[in-house]
Structure 1
Amino acid sequence: MSSCCLKGFRWTGTPTGQETTLAGINTYQTGTNPQIAILIIHDLYGWKFNNTRILADQLAEEVGATVYVPDFFGGESLPLEILQDEKRWAEVDIPGFMSKNTKTIREPEIFACARSLRFEHKYGSIGALGFCFGGWGVFRLGAKDVALVDCISTAHPTFLEETEIREVGVPVQILAPEYDEQFTEELKTLCNAVIPGLGVGYDYQFFPGLRHGFATRGDDREEGERAGMERAKEVVVLWFKLWLRE
């Protein structure tokens, strides 16, 4: 986890959904479609981050889905006032925080939420969207031997491994900024070499001039970043409308 995962801006606006639970986990829920669901796996800013909830509201409205943002950090969160002040980052124990939120610890919860959507709530069509930390999670949900979701999308994924790329078995969308210390040039090249040969739908969206975190934490006061965020939202909406059907 590098410093690029900490940088970000808070957007204005008030989320319109509600807090509930999913598989026993505190969750932000928005939208009312009983047939189509989208599971969002949040980034380092957590499930309460205003930007993530605003995006969830937009997807619920424009895709026509019920969107869920569970808390995959076990009730803990990093202080937003520190995350947004680069001079104070030394006050945050990122390694300690991440040691409590490893793949091994959080994957069972991610799988439990997807199973709940499929088998308890009985959604007929489910998509998964992962930002930064959530990128590896959506790939695992879409693995050939798991397939708990019908399609996945990820923006600037972190901790993504070669085996997760090679084992995906559902349609994949990737939103890749030009500058990314986590989703490296090697990983970008690997995705574009491997996924087209897996027999699944694939959409690779490249965002020149933008950096890791732009899709959820870009500065909406900057024209280039705002345009990138708007484009990211639009292509994700189109992706889910293509693959998620009632």
Structure 2
Amino acid sequence: MSCPDCFRGGRATGEPQGHIETLYGLPTYITGTSTASSTQSTIIFYTDAFGLELVNNKVLADAYAIATGFRVLVPDIIPGGPMSPDVLTMMDQMGAPVSLFNTWGQIKRIAVTLQVMRLVLPFLYRSYPGYAACNKASLDYARKVKADLHPGAKLGAAGFCWGGNQSLRVSAQPAVEGGSERLIDAQFCAHPSGIKLPDDFVNAVMKFKTPVVVAHAENDSTLKTKQVEESEATLRQKVGNGQGENGFNYEIKIYKGVAHGFSVRAVPGNRKEEDGADEAKEQAIAWFKRWL
């Protein structure tokens, strides 16, 4: 499995405050308010692999809407549908220690592993985050949202795991094909999956001077910290320090001692992950309030 941590983590508690309706042809979880007012900005929340099936995504979207006052849209956008949250439990079962001499325990582990592969392999085949079909669906949706905003309202993008790929890549796109206006006015992503470094970081920042934040998990199993640090060095060389120098604003923060998925699937009771998730949430909220 290319990214086992993409399918691990905990389930959040809390009752979603928004509702689901069809928006631009896709079931969309809407929180904050149903419509954008003349001055209200909107955030598109690109989920992890579990989409709207996992309550964590809705609860976190609610937190963004409450803290910023903006409308938050969470589209059911993953081609072929999201991963079943049942995989979270299966991954825990796979990782549980079993004695080599516990024959029944080993048989159960093999059976669970086969169940996981039966779910994960088709998902990766149809919905790997870097696939053109995934990126096109995310881009088309964002452009439709942007086109419907009132003058003065801005569009943000937040992405997690699978969705981090989407939010970075739409940030490198114009509001309309061939245009010069940026599509995304502020971007936050945490532990993005399937990205190409340094290109995806550089393009998200440079193409349209989009303000970009990346929350990186130090122990990410697929996106190595060294790669992220080298990409940040490339950005500094190309555009400056990210604090407005040459008109570019970006921030790359490494969260120590946490793994891929921490910001949206922190395991309850794991203090380091819970603290990291809270800090990443506040980082995103502050960024969106600043730029939107």
TM over 0.5, shorter chain: yes
| 1:195-206 superposed matches below 5 A | 195-196=235-236, 197-198=238-239, 199-206=247-254
Secondary structure (helix, strand or coil) at the match of 1:189 reads helix
| 1:3-53 Cα distance to aligned partner (Å, 9 max, x none) | 111111101111010001222011111012532100011111112310110
Secondary structure (helix, strand or coil) at the match of 2:256 reads strand
CA contact (8 A) 1:176 1:204 kept: yes
Quote the offset at 1:82 in angstroms.
2.8
CA contact (8 A) 2:80 2:126 kept: no
Q: Structure 2: how far apart are the matches of 1:185 and 1:82?
A: 26
Instruction: State yes or no: 1:5 paired with 2:33.
Output: no
Secondary structure (helix, strand or coil) at the match of 2:58 reads helix
| 1:86-235 superposed matches below 5 A | 86=91, 87=94, 88-92=112-116, 93=118, 94-102=120-128, 103-122=131-150, 124-143=153-172, 145=174, 147-162=182-197, 163-168=199-204, 169=208, 170-196=210-236, 197-198=238-239, 199-235=247-283
Secondary structure (helix, strand or coil) at the match of 2:132 reads helix
> What code does the residue aligned with 1:64 have?
G
| 1:147-204 Cα distance to aligned partner (Å, 9 max, x none) | 3111111101111113222222311101111101222124312331133333421112
CA contact (8 A) 1:215 1:232 kept: yes
> What code does the residue aligned with 1:166 have?
V
Q: Structure 1: how far apart are the matches of 2:122 and 2:80?
A: 15
Looking at secondary structure, tell me which structure has more strand per residue. Answer: 1
Q: Structure 2: how far apart are the matches of 1:81 and 1:242?
A: 37
Q: Structure 1: how far apart are the matches of 2:127 and 2:79?
A: 8
> What code does the residue aligned with 1:97 have?
F
Q: Which runs of 5+ in 1 are unaligned?
A: none
When structure 1 is superposed on structure 2, of 234-243 and 27-36 the one drifting more is 27-36
| 1:27-38 superposed matches below 5 A | 27-32=28-33, 34=37, 35-38=40-43
CA contact (8 A) 1:60 1:66 kept: yes
Instruction: State yes or no: 1:69 paired with 2:71.
Output: no
CA contact (8 A) 1:150 1:243 kept: yes
Secondary structure (helix, strand or coil) at the match of 2:52 reads coil
> What code does the residue aligned with 1:73 have?
I
> What code does the residue aligned with 2:261 have?
G
Q: Which runs of 5+ in 2 are unaligned?
A: 95-111, 176-181, 240-246
Which residue does the alignment assign to 1:39? Answer: 44
Quote the offset at 1:144 in angstroms.
5.6
CA distance 1:42–1:6, change in 2 (3 Å)? same
Q: Structure 1: how far apart are the matches of 2:266 and 2:140?
A: 31
CA contact (8 A) 2:27 2:76 kept: yes
When structure 1 is superposed on structure 2, of 79-88 and 126-135 the one drifting more is 79-88
State the percentage of identical aligned residues: 29
Secondary structure (helix, strand or coil) at the match of 1:211 reads coil
Secondary structure (helix, strand or coil) at the match of 2:268 reads coil
> What code does the residue aligned with 1:155 have?
A
Secondary structure (helix, strand or coil) at the match of 1:209 reads coil
Q: Structure 1: how far apart are the matches of 2:9 and 2:275?
A: 16
When structure 1 is superposed on structure 2, of 88-97 and 172-181 the one drifting more is 88-97
> What code does the residue aligned with 1:179 have?
N
Under a length normalisation based on structure 2, what TM-score does the superposition of the two structures give? Answer: 0.78
Instruction: State yes or no: 1:20 paired with 2:16.
Output: no
Which residue does the alignment assign to 2:99? Answer: none
Q: Structure 2: how far apart are the matches of 1:48 and 1:28?
A: 11
Under a length normalisation based on structure 1, what TM-score does the superposition of the two structures give? Answer: 0.92
Q: Structure 2: how far apart are the matches of 1:42 and 1:82?
A: 16
> What code does the residue aligned with 1:221 have?
G
Q: Structure 1: how far apart are the matches of 2:42 and 2:31?
A: 10
